């Protein structure tokens, strides 16, 4: 056994002793029929609802107000009888929703990219099952977690925290960027010759790929390039494929819901049905985590736009329901002089443009004043294409919003998630 594999397995034994047991279960179920998977979901849901009723103030009061017992939800369709909750609701009712008898737990905190951070304790099965689902996804690409890998994630400039991160990265056989200066990217790229995979913020992977291609440092031949925590835009893929020898695949989830879906080698995003139930409600993702006992998250509105895909059988052999499209964060509004519009309107404006004209633009929109919107592009744009984008904007905004398009004006903050719409309005 190699030293890195030994260190990894020792760490698992100490920190997450049931990880490989959970992983083995998920490998057995990955070829289950859809009927078997739904039966498993129902059994786990009934157990979760009974535990939530017995151990939390909120769910005890909820069922009592509804004059129901948890056992009356005896099929998956009846889950819709329960109310939808969101991050703000959980923050406000965390004490009532917490099960203090859930056993060993791990502290977790959301990034706060939506403007509010949620801090909670995830019970052992909640945490471990999400990590096991990630390992199953790795296995589809022939990747082991102890193999050398590059990491694109947040970091602290505080000296002590930086030292701790470097130590942990060394133990995990990974390396990361602590600066996005060109010389740092070159040093990072030199380590890719011995790497097996890279993972992290999708926008950061894309930016590094561009530098590698511009400086002709690659191509590298990785087994897996995994983007997470952000939307993966179509225009990322050409640069990523050229730099790393693989397209970027998607791992979709969040801190609070755990891993929701993982992209298989045929490009379809399979829901981890053993761990979560995913509903598409008015185009938004509503998640029930079947292992969240310390803070039961039942019908949790994640804030992402999705489209479920139950249309066909995947060539990979899995029958798990797929997510056909993730259109990004919903909730923020673009304000006109008279009306307001969903922030996702921008996604559809540029999607329609690409379908019509074939070209993909790297963009970020900024609003500081109602009725005005600035779209910053990464590339240079000529007047003809600027006119085409403005026409597409008028299809949605009419004359309610004045749109300005700026060439070569897109600036990225590499310490944060990338957002295609930034608003100072509330």
Residue 23: HSE in the Cβ half-sphere, 13 Å Cα cutoff = 17
Per-residue pLDDT of the chain in tens (426 residues, 90 and over written 9): 689 999 999 999 999 999 999 999 999 999 999 999 999 999 999 999 999 999 999 999 999 999 999 999 999 999 999 999 999 899 999 999 999 999 999 988 875 555 567 889 999 999 999 999 999 999 999 999 999 999 987 655 557 777 888 888 888 999 988 777 889 899 999 999 999 999 998 888 998 999 999 999 989 999 999 998 888 888 899 999 999 999 999 999 998 899 999 999 999 999 999 999 999 999 899 999 999 999 999 999 998 889 999 877 899 999 999 999 887 665 578 999 998 887 778 877 988 888 889 888 888 999 999 999 999 998 899 999 999 999 999 999 999 999 999 999 988 766 666 778 888 886
- The pTM score is 0.82
| Nearest CA-CA partner of 369 in 418, 404, 328 | 404
Separation of alpha carbons 336 and 398, rounded Å: 10
Q: How do 402-406 and 322-329 pair as beta strands?
A: unpaired
Token reading at 239: 């640069």
Separation of alpha carbons 4 and 246, rounded Å: 25
Domains of the chain are: 1-328 (3.40.50.12780), 333-423 (3.30.300)
**Is the distance from CB of 420 to CB of 346 less than 8 angstroms?**
yes
385 DSSP 8-state letter: H
| Nearest CA-CA partner of 187 in 217, 166, 159, 214 | 217
């Amino acid at each position: 056994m190699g030293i890195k594999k030994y260190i990894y397995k020792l760490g698992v034994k100490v920190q997450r002793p049931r990880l490989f047991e959970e992983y083995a279960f998920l490998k057995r179920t990955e070829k289950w029929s859809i009927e078997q998977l739904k039966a498993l979901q129902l059994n786990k849901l009934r157990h979760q609802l009974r535990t939530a009723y017995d151990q939390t103030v909120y769910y005890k009061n909820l069922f009592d107000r509804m004059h129901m017992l948890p056992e009356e939800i005896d099929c998956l369709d009846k889950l819709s009888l329960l109310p939808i909750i969101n991050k703000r609701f959980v923050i406000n009712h965390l004490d009532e929703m917490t099960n203090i008898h859930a056993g060993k737990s791990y502290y977790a905190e959301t990034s706060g990219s939506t403007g509010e951070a949620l801090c909670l304790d995830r019970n052992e099965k909640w945490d471990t099952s999400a990590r096991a689902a990630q390992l199953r996804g790795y296995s589809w690409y022939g990747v082991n977690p102890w193999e050398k890998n590059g990491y694109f994630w947040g970091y602290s400039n505080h000296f002590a925290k930086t030292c701790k991160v470097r130590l942990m990265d060394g133990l995990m056989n990974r390396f990361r960027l602590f600066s996005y200066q060109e010389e740092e990217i070159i040093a990072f790229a030199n380590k890719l010759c011995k790497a097996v995979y890279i993972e992290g913020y999708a926008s950061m992977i894309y930016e590094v790929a561009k530098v590698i291609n511009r400086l002709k440092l690659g191509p590298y031949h990785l087994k897996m390039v995994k983007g997470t925590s952000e939307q993966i835009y179509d225009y990322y893929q050409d640069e990523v494929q050229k730099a790393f020898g693989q397209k970027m695949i998607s791992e979709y989830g969040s801190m609070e819901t755990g891993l929701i879906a993982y992209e298989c080698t045929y490009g379809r995003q399979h829901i981890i049905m053993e761990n979560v139930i995913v509903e598409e409600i008015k185009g938004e993702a509503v998640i029930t985590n079947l292992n969240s006992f310390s803070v039961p998250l039942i019908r949790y509105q994640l804030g992402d736009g999705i489209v479920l895909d139950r249309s066909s059988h995947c060539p990979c052999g899995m029958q798990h329901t797929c997510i056909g499209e993730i259109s990004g964060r919903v909730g923020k509004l673009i304000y006109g002089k008279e009306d307001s519009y969903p922030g996702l309107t921008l996604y559809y404006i540029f999607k329609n443009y690409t379908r019509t004209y074939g070209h993909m633009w790297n963009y970020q929109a900024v609003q500081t004043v109602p009725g005005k919107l600035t779209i910053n592009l990464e590339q240079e744009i000529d007047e003809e294409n600027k006119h085409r984008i403005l026409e597409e904007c008028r299809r949605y905004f009419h004359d309610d919003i004045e749109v300005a398009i700026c060439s070569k004006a897109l600036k990225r903050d590499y310490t944060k998630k990338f957002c295609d719409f930034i608003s100072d309005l509330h």
